[in-house]
Amino acid sequence: MNKGDGPNSALSSEANQRQARPKPAKTSSLRGRLLRHLALLLLLIVLLSSLSAYWSAREAADTAYDRTLLASARAIAEGLYANDGHLNVNVPYVALDTFAYDSLGRIYYQVLNLHGELVSGYEDLPPAPPGTRRTNDYPALARFYDGQYRGQGVRLVSLMQPVSEPRLNGIAEIRVAETQGARERLARELLVGTLWRMGLLVCSALLLVWLTVSAALRPLESLRRAVAERASDDLRPLPEGELPRELRPLVKALNQFNERLRNLFERQAQFIADAAHELRTPLAALKARVELGLRAQAPQVWRSTLEETAQNTDRLTELANQLLSLARIESGARAIAEGGAQRLDLSQLARELGLALAPLAHARGIALALEAEQPVWLLGEPTLLNELLCNLVDNALAHTPASGNVILRVLAPGILEIQDDGPGIPADEREKVFERFYRRSLQGSGAGLGLAIVGEICRAHQARISLHQVQPQGLLVRVEFAVETV
């Protein structure tokens, strides 16, 4: 015994198989998916709104502080005076107290005389860049601009103050600068307040959506319970009256599916009942004939019994094949409905069947002719179409006398005709012959399933079949297919 053949090897193989099995995909709930999508959308809105709020807050802070800067510059300008032909300034405390020298903001000032010389204040305050325009927001000769002072970003105002004294006449310049800390703090406070309010709004919106979606999904949960509590054989339609309008198409589709299931189960039950009924009698007769032959002593009786048994077995085999054909039609029709139909040339199918049945027709003394001049394309299931052709031609050969004719025609667009020289079918029986196990008196033997199979195949292909009398004698079977132009 090899080491790899022991229990541990088997357990290892089983573990490997379990690991190789694909894990079921995780599915998210509709409620969670909706909340995630809404949260992402709200997050994007909050981000854009926060940026907008920050710039709006910064603009509001700049406007407020610019007004204060200009007020300080005007207060300093009011302290200008002339002494012995020289410009002096008396800086009032209120001009500097406006900014309060806090930890985040600091104010600097500079007064220049008519010749641009320093009168008072800090020497190195930056001048206005070339091309800086005068502000139109205030009735003053003032320019606002940003600059760098002592390694900090500052906001400055340059106020041009006219001076008219007996010995002095010109324009003095007053510069006032303020660090950006106070402005940034105000903008930050406004932004934080806006974010808090918007965050509260987002949480409230998500909670409201959660409650609304939960309430909206209650009918769907009720529908799920109603379906889960039903018995396996309960295919009654689901009620639609109290459901929301959005759920009614789903319930309607479920009801249509249940109706198809019910029809399928009914057909299966009918098929089983028909098969049991049709097989019971010939099997019982076959058994009785065999038992009777077994009681006989003469070899001639045994031979006669075997011959009859062989004939009955052939009939039973034909019946079983036809019953299986009926069962195959259901799967073929489902394949067609699900888009599994193939593009086929009806003329080629008829040509192949004619070649296959030509020896049988010749043995019976019947002339089998094919009239198919051009390809006729259609969508269908090849096994079912071969079954249809075989049943129709076999039925025509069975009812055509010796030296008769059977003609197989394929006409465009999508018309199949089989004409024979048989006795035909009376008009009052032409609908009944497509019923299962219907036997005409002229048929003698047979299970009565050939034309029933043909009718089922036509329904599966949405084709129309009709029977016509041929003068002076004969039957014409016409099948009209829905042709797909390619």
The Cα 269–Cα 44 span in angstroms is: 60
Per the model's pLDDT, the better-predicted residue between 111 and 5 turns out to be 111
| The pLDDT of residue 484 | 63
pLDDT score of 1: 44
Quick one: tokens of 264? Answer: 């399928």
Looking at mean pLDDT, say which of 45-54, 193-202, 404-413 comes out highest.
Answer: 404-413
- 140, 70 contact by CB (below 8 A): yes
| Predicted pLDDT of residue 476 | 92
pLDDT 10s digits, 230-248: 777 777 887 776 777 777 7
Q: Which pLDDT value is given to residue 408?
A: 92
Query: Residue 73 half-sphere exposure, CB side, CA atoms within 13 Å?
Result: 29
Two tokens, residue 26? 């995780």
Check residue 416 and give its pLDDT.
92
Banded pLDDT at 25 (limits 50, 70, 90): low
CA-nearest of 234, 233, 226 to 251 is 226
The pLDDT assigned to 175 comes to: 93
pLDDT tier for residue 337 given thresholds of 50, 70 and 90: low
Q: How confident is the model at residue 102 (pLDDT cuts 50, 70, 90)?
A: very low
d(CA 159, CA 141): 6
User: Angle 131-77-169 (CA atoms, 0-180°, nearest 5)?
Assistant: 80
Q: Quickly state the pLDDT bin for 17 (edges 50, 70, 90).
A: low
Mean pLDDT lowest among 133-137, 175-179, 328-332, 378-382: 328-332
> Rounded CA gap, 350 and 384, in Å?
13
Query: Domains in the chain and their CATH numbers?
Result: 30-222 (no CATH), 249-337 (1.10.287.130), 342-480 (3.30.565.10)
Percent of the chain with pLDDT over 90: 11
- Half-sphere exposure of 485 toward its Cβ, with a 13 Å CA cutoff? 2
Alpha-carbon distance of 451 to 162, in angstroms, equals 116
The rounded mean pLDDT for the chain is 79
Per-position DSSP letters for 335-360, written without gaps between them: HHHTT--EEEEHHHHHHHHHHHHHHH
Q: Are 399 and 420 in contact (CB under 8 A)?
A: yes
pLDDT for residue 336 is more than 80: no
Is 381:332 a contact under the CB 8 Å cutoff? yes
**Token digits of residue 223:** 């529908």
Confidence check: pLDDT of 14 > 70: no
Question: So what's the pLDDT on residue 486?
Answer: 42
406 CB-near residues (< 8 Å, 6+ apart): 361, 366, 367, 368, 369, 393, 396, 397, 400, 418, 419, 420, 421
pLDDT of residue 252: 84
Is 303 strand, coil or helix? helix
**Cα separation of the two ends of the chain:** 65
| Strand order from edge to edge, sheet including 118-121 | 118-121, 107-112, 169-179, 152-164, 142-149
pTM of the model as a whole: 0.45
When pLDDT is cut at 50, 70 and 90, the band that residue 16 belongs to is low
Collapse the DSSP code of 413 into the 3-class scheme (helix H, G, I; strand E, B; otherwise coil) and give the result: coil
Q: Are 158 and 142 in contact (CB under 8 A)?
A: yes
Higher pLDDT pick, 162 / 288: 162
Given a contact cutoff of 8 angstroms between Cβ atoms, the answer to whether 109 and 177 are in contact is yes
Higher-confidence residue of 57 and 350: namely 350
The identity of residue 175, as a single letter, is R
